[in-house]
């Protein structure tokens, strides 16, 4: 059988195609990898959790520390000097919270040995307020 041309020869074309299988595999792997990369970049915003907002809202942390420190001041005082010690700490805490853009208000009533405290911490984001009683040791 006479050959028409090399391009129409089935045996020659299959050998020629067999040498290009590896190239098609590499090209298809690159295309698929690129598609997955593009898809992951598009959906990246849906899977990321923004924790920066919780880091800027720290009023609860400060408020709990102030409550604990007020109780420590009362524990380390007796009925004769508890008023002076509380006033010093409240002044210090107000100054420190003012530097952070927060307003601290603390009121207390002393009926030794029990002290009833009401504290509030305000900022642009929130206000936290609580009342509690603590006894002088």
What are 70-101's pLDDT values in tens digits? 999 999 998 899 999 999 999 999 999 999 99
Closest alpha carbon to 67 in 110, 127, 118, 102: 118
Dist. CA 98–CA 106, nearest whole Å: 14
Structural domain contains residue 22: yes
**Residue 19: predicted pLDDT:** 61
Structural domain contains residue 1: no
Containing domain of residue 35, as a range?
A: 6-47
What are 28-73's pLDDT values in tens digits? 999 999 999 998 888 877 777 766 666 567 888 999 999 999 999 9
Strands (E), 5-126: 103-111, 114-122
Structural domain contains residue 118: yes
Same domain, 43 and 85: no
Structural domain contains residue 73: yes
Same domain, 84 and 126: yes
């Amino acid at each position: 059988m006479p050959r028409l041309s090399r391009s129409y020869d089935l045996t020659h074309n299959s050998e020629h195609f067999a040498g290009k299988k590896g190239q098609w595999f590499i090209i298809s792997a690159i295309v698929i990898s690129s598609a997955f990369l593009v898809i992951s970049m598009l959906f990246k915003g849906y899977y990321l959790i923004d924790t920066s907002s919780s880091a800027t809202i720290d009023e609860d942390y400060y408020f709990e520390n102030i409550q604990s420190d007020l109780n420590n001041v009362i524990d380390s005082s007796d009925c004769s000097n508890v008023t002076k010690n509380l006033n010093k700490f409240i002044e210090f805490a107000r100054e420190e919270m003012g530097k952070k853009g927060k307003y601290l208000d603390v009121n207390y009533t002393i009926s030794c040995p029990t002290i009833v405290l009401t504290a509030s911490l305000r900022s642009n984001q929130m206000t936290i307020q609580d009342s509690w009683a603590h006894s002088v040791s």
